[in-house]
Amino acid sequence: MGRRSRCRRLQQQQRPEGAEDGAEGGGKRGEAGWEGGYPEIVKENKLFEHYYQELKIVPEGEWDQFMDALREPLPATLRITGYKSHAKEILHCLKNKYFKELEDLEVDGQKVEVPQPLSWYPEELAWHTNLSRKILRKSPQLEKFHQFLVSETESGNISRQEAVSMIPPLLLNVQPHHKILDMCAAPGSKTTQLIEMLHADMNVPFPEGFVIANDVDNKRCYLLVHQAKRLSSPCIMVVNHDASSIPRLQIDVGGRKEILFYDRILCDVPCSGDGTMRKNIDVWKKWTTLNSLQLHGLQLRIATRGAEQLAEGGRMVYSTCSLNPIEDEAVIASLLEKSEGALELADVSNELPGLKWMPGITQWKVMTKDGQWFTDWDAVPHSRHTQIRPTMFPLKDPEKLRAMHLERCLRILPHHQNTGGFFVAVLVKKSSMPWNKRQPKLQGKSAETRGSAQLSPADPTEGKPADPSKLESPSVTGTGDTEIAHATEDLENNGNRKDGVCGPPPSKKMKLFGFKEDPFVFIPEDDPLFPPIEKFYALDPSFPRMNLLTRTTEGKKRQLYMVSKELRNVLLNNSERMKVINTGIKVWCRNNSGEEFDCAFRLAQEGIYTLYPFINSRIITVSMEDVKILLTQENPFFRKLSSETYSQAKDLAKGSIVLKYEPDSANPDSLQCPIVLCGWRGKASIRTFVPKNERLHYLRMMGLEVLGEKKKEGVILTNESAASTGQPENEMTEGQRAGETHSPDAEEADTPDAGEADSLEVTAGCDLAVAHLPR
């Protein structure tokens, strides 16, 4: 026995009678204030209470309700992604299956409330429940519901997002043609909302607008990529920059370089997060006013940079998950003051009916971490000037203050609708910022007007991380837009850049952090790779082949990606000033044995909804029963599919195919949304290449619940197939008797190698056991 074991046994022998693990002198661990081995955090902070009572942000008589709400766990909320035509089917499934199972259910003695829709979110696409995340994960009664949430989240059909976090994208009022910048985007829940809004019309594969999602943290950028990838949009680009000095981009407009100004900007800045106390309980013990004082300058610089890049007539939403006016109204007031009328607060009081909010305040004080108050800048001693800045105080001029309409800001208090705390302000740009002498509109400006426009002095710091002290002064960020465009044209004409290649910025021009990304290389028009693809899939002449790209400059191109033409424009014109982490959706993958077939590239499920409108060949229309078989069986023989499907497949050459399900409006009980799947036509069977979670999603929408997976060679058992064993495995159909024989080994040679297909898209050897769900 080791020394530690002997010591442990000795301690147990010496323990007082009745004592439990981890408690001294008797009593249970829970009674000693411990749970799971960690000390329980006391949800008290006297300084917090003193500060907010003094500022009077909570209506009189509601303080106790406010504090009680902060001490309660945050309800679980979920949002059904609205841009996919499957949203209504998911809602139908939730209401008629999962929510009904929660009725009259008790967990740990607490009655589970049936989820309710958020009254202010459009079309009942957002729901909340009193179930905390902890209960959802650990309760056996809720296991099916939890698995449903996890699976649908992975496949991009549900987003588990805090209720107040859904507000800023709604107030941006995004249209499909808008160019959008999300300045501090990670982890990406708001970004996905913006992408959904771009794709409001699913019949348009390439909306004119796009989302550029930025984050300063390189690692969090990859979390952002994961979130965005779930929505399979060709209109999203993830970049890695400091938001307070995010570079100006340019685009080609009619052969002329123009500065890119955004129609919509989301400015969800880093904050102290005291509105998140209900889910981040560490804030209770760590909260101090110093956090807000330190963040105020950064928040103002980010908001200022956003306002500079906003197009005239555009809308910018500034938001924080903090209740502190130093991070909220003080930033907005300072930004409005230095904009000299270029910005104004929009009145959005009627845009989200049902949402309860408090108007922004016009008077507040500044408190140091040791509890000292200051009402104006003149009273701040010189020794405090580095910590407290003049922009933190409200304006003294009552007329100017009244003209700002700070009451148009929205502050969400936790006890009003059982949410987290939040602050939102919606700004509209009326004219260019005073330190930008001119701001050309992207359309309708003649070259003569551009040439004769007055220029401001060039900014030597443009495109570099800025000195924080200088960035607070508006004069630093002013740069003549025309001068920037000309300078960039000169940079591009020096012959250092390969045509059609957007790689990482050269190390001399920008200091890079994190993983070095592969370049983005657009496929040249004369590339011999494309004609076989075009012929094999009979691509429509309108197919935008110029938008195809790959991530390698040498060797075989293994994956082909696609972006919208607007993002192509951005990529090609900004490689020297922008660090792109990810963009484009995968539309084709190379087969290792592709030379045996007429086309070396198979379709990828990730991009099939974008690609499908351009494909005119190799499409098989399937019934709902066919889809069930294809998604639950690994390589179903033709005989297992309907005769209509067999008649379409029998004359096709081996290779990649599209499987399309069209809803039957005459049968309302059947699935009422179209489905497009990637498949492979082998010698005598068809297989699908669909990620596991997407398979489960489609099966649920068709009324089947997946009970589990069984390892079994070749056949995937369902409750239907187990019940109907009408046809023996060795019985052959007429078509097979004519010479189409099958063996597992022969079929393996016809399908892409599992190693080169995406791991998510292959469920080889897995049997899905399913049961019927009521529709």
Binding-site residue ranges? 184-190, 215, 242, 268
Hey, what amino acid is at 592? N
Q: Classify residue 112 by its DSSP letter.
A: P
Cβ proximity of 573 and 250 under 8 Å: yes
Which positions make up the binding site for S-adenosyl-L-methionine? 184-190, 215, 242, 268
Place of tokens 């900004």: 574
Least Cα distance to 304 among 436, 493, 455 occurs for 436
Least Cα distance to 629 among 691, 692, 682, 695 occurs for 695
The contacts of residue 622 (CB under 8 Å, 6+ apart) are 630, 641, 642, 645, 659, 660, 661
CA distances from 481 to 271, 540, 573, 709 (A): 31, 40, 15, 59
Cβ proximity of 279 and 160 under 8 Å: no
Hey, what amino acid is at 671? L
CA distance 47 to 42: 14
CA distance 550 to 560: 5
CA distance 126 to 196: 14
CA distance 155 to 160: 12
Query: Could you give the strand order of the β-sheet that contains 116-117, starting from the edge strand earlier in sequence?
Result: 116-117, 126-129, 76-80, 158-159
CA distance 111 to 347: 40
Least Cα distance to 410 among 480, 351, 337 occurs for 351
Q: Does an H or E element contain 5, and which? A: helix 3-14
The dihedral through the CA atoms of 382, 386, 390, 392 has a sign that is negative
What phi, psi does 125 have (nearest 5°)? Answer: -95, 5
Active site residue 321: yes
CA distance 728 to 708: 25
What phi, psi does 312 have (nearest 5°)? Answer: -60, 130
CA distance 459 to 470: 12
Q: Is 310 exposed, middle or buried (0-12, 13-18, 19+ CB in 10 A)?
A: buried
Cβ proximity of 557 and 623 under 8 Å: no
CA distance 245 to 305: 7
187: preceding bond cis by omega (within 30 degrees): yes
Least Cα distance to 342 among 259, 265, 436, 471 occurs for 436
Q: On the CB side of 429, how many CA atoms lie within 13 Å of its CA?
A: 26
Helix (H/G/I), strand (E/B), else coil: 40:
coil
Residue 135 CA to chain centroid, in angstroms? 25
Cβ proximity of 311 and 429 under 8 Å: yes
CA distance 451 to 437: 14
Three-state secondary structure of 610-634: HHHHHECCCEEECCHHHHHHHHHCC
Which residue among 93, 267, 271, 321 is the active-site one? 321
Cβ proximity of 243 and 184 under 8 Å: yes
Strands (E), 113-223: 116-117, 126-129, 158-159, 179-182, 210-214
Cβ proximity of 295 and 301 under 8 Å: no
What are the residue numbers of the active site? 321
